[in-house]
Amino acid sequence: MSRVGSGSKILSFWLMAALVLSASVFAQDSKEAGSASGGSQDQAGQNNTDPLKQPISEKQRKKNEKALKQELRGPYKKWLDEDVVWIITDQERQAFKQLTNDEERDQFIEAFWQRRDPTPDTEENEYKEEHYRRIAYANEHFAAGVPGWKTDRGRIYIMYGAPDEIESHPSGGTYERPMEEGGGETSTFPFEDWRYRYLEGIGQEVIIEFVDTCMCGEFHMTIDRSEKDALLYTPNAGLTMWEQMGMASKTQRFQGSGLERLGVGPDSSMLASKEFDRLEQYAKLQAPPPIKFKDLEEVVNTKVILNPMPFDVRTDFVKVTDDTVLVPVTIQMKNRDITFVNKDGVERGTVNIFGRVSTLTDRVVQTFEDTVQVDVPAELLPRTAENASVYWKALPLRPGRYKVEIAVKDVNGDRKGLWSRGIVVPEYSDDKLSTSSLIVADQMEPVPTKTIGTGSFVIGATKIRPRVGPANGKPAVFKKDKDQKLNFWMQVYNLGVDEKTHKPSATFEYDIINVATNKPIVQKVESTEQMGNVGEQVTLQKSIASAVLQPGVYKIEIKVNDKISKQTVDPSAVFAVE
């Protein structure tokens, strides 16, 4: 609410300043016009010509433009034309140019960064810090006769962040073409292929190619993969596979009208059909992703909700590779907050879900949209009001800071809800003992071999459904019931391995502590020796019946002691039993 109020004050200030300035200009124009015509006025002392309808003379227009150029100098010009040139919208740019003094410009710049702050309730603006870090990185690594931020590589880095993988050929030289480029061997100019595993609205495996045809360090972005071929215009050199076999002529490369001159080959027809896809991808790299639930996107953008629908969210972190972390997002809604409609004796509730994950510079990394339906027999609906419906989405992300925004809509009741948080995806370095999230789950079971790694709540070979705590910070609640189990799941990474035995040596201590008394209720210790054939990574899974615990709040602590690397970690989680 405070940010909306602040924005309203700034807007009001600008409007008042614009009205005062307009009145001053019109008064001056009226005075000059009156002087030029001998100051003709009626007996009431007013001009016969309405000053609001007087056109600005060419002389005055040029004078205004000159004054604007003189004012937009120094730090303001640099801020507009360098610092934020790749992230400022056209509307913001036009609004900034309409400001009339430095005080207004300072307020605009402050509001500009506030609108992009992923954590407005803290002093730091991570978006701004990350943006200037990227500019500094681009200037240091991509400069080529011009500052790095001006180059194509610098622009893409600032807008989309670091790629997931770079194939670099800094000196060019001998190049064995892949079959999709015609096969055969040639020599290339220096070039780089930047690969992004996923860009929302663009697709999977997005590859951006940069070529340095001048051999001067200026790598420009291209959608023509033949542009890197240094022997493209050399007769009978750098031939494709079919050209070497006499099944095609190199001159055929220049007889078509396509985007690329890769030469005839076994994949020629497929490549031609993909040219429009390449053009579309090029355009989409600079456009926002398509959105299915427009109303929920608007909720995320405006953060204005009149009739909020409550729901709870939990995020966890599980290592996949050295530079990829699986981030399961669990969304939980109470049946009492969903509007059900009776159809043929079955009560059905429908909820639309829209999620968006973005970087600190507001680059959308992923979005997800889904519709969840809950069916309950009509006679059982009153007894299931306190039951929860759970939705799960697993997102692969690189380590770093992100903003997660989730909007839900109760379709039948037309209520909407919004959840927004900043998260830090951990980096799992090879030499540091670390763990995944410690997940407290109400369901945990092995999955069939054919469904390993697929389906909702499935991590590896196990289905784990987390119990989600309420948004007020209280712990997740389990019922004291003989049929209700408390399940604990966690992975341990980078255990040390003995050089002689090639096995790890570690102990795992489990403690369930009553928070009120600070006394352990359950204690257990096991070791890698007892667990059999284990490696650097270990998955810990334990279950107990909730009936063995009295109502109250508890904390589960798991202490991992690696005897080889001499490192320890002790993650914990809190839950309640009623």
- In the chain, the domains with their CATH numbers are 2-30+50-115 (no CATH), 163-284 (no CATH), 291-426 (2.60.40.3880), 429-578 (2.60.40.3880)
pLDDT digits 0-9 by tens, 197-256: 766 567 668 899 999 999 998 899 998 888 999 998 888 898 988 888 888 888 888 876
Residue 267 pLDDT class (50, 70, 90 cuts): low
d(CA 371, CA 56) in angstroms, rounded, equals 56
Alpha-carbon dihedral sign for residues 278, 283, 286, 292: negative
- Determine what percent of the chain is predicted with pLDDT higher than 90: 37
Name the average pLDDT for the chain.
Answer: 81
- Whether 190 has a pLDDT exceeding 60, the answer reads yes
* Residue-wise pLDDT tens digits, 29-84: 443 434 433 443 343 344 444 443 456 567 666 665 555 555 556 788 899 999 98
Categorize the per-residue pLDDT at 104 as very low, low, confident or very high, splitting at 50, 70 and 90.
confident
Q: What residues have CB less than 8 Å from 18, skipping those under 6 apart?
A: 98, 100
CB-based contacts of 567, cutoff 8 Å, min separation 6: 432, 433, 496
**pLDDT digits 0-9 by tens, 288-321:** 334 456 667 777 777 767 678 999 999 999 998 8
pLDDT-wise least confident of 13-27, 341-355, 388-402, 560-574: 13-27
CA R_g for the chain: 32
Whether pLDDT at 272 is above 60: no
Residues 6+ apart with CB under 8 A from 528: 495, 503, 504, 505, 506, 507, 534, 538
Task: Give 390 or 277, the one with higher predicted confidence.
Answer: 390
**Do 315 and 423 contact (CB within 8 A), yes or no?**
yes
Q: Judge whether 135 and 150 are in contact, CB under 8 Å.
A: no
Contact 354, 397 (CB under 8 A): no
Q: pLDDT tens digit string along 113-171?
A: 877 776 665 677 877 888 899 999 999 999 988 999 999 999 888 887 888 889 999 99
- Phi and psi at residue 272, to the nearest 5°: -65, -40
Structure confidence at residue 89 as a pLDDT band (50, 70, 90): confident
Residues 6+ apart with CB under 8 A from 168: 192
Q: Phi and psi dihedrals of 273, rounded to 5?
A: -70, -20
CB burial class (10 A; 0-12, 13-18, 19+) of residue 66? exposed
Instruction: State if pTM tops 0.75.
Output: no
Please give the pLDDT value at position 50.
Answer: 42
What is the pLDDT at residue 527? Answer: 92
Which of the given ranges, 77-81, 411-415, 530-534, has the highest pLDDT on average? 77-81
503 three-state secondary structure:
coil
Pairing state of beta strands 364-377 and 388-397?
Answer: unpaired
Q: Is the four-CA dihedral 236, 242, 248, 252 of positive or negative sign?
A: negative
Q: How confident is the model at residue 270 (pLDDT cuts 50, 70, 90)?
A: low
3-state helix, strand, coil in the chain (%, to 5): 30, 35, 35
Residue 339 Cα distances to 222, 369, 382, 390, 547, angstroms: 52, 20, 12, 16, 33
First to last CA, the chain: 36
Element (H, E) at 26: helix 2-36
Q: Which long-range contacts (CB under 8 A, 24 or more apart) does 450-457 make?
A: 456/391, 456/392, 457/328, 457/392
- Could you tell me the sign of the dihedral formed by the alpha carbons of 104, 106, 107, 112, in that order? positive
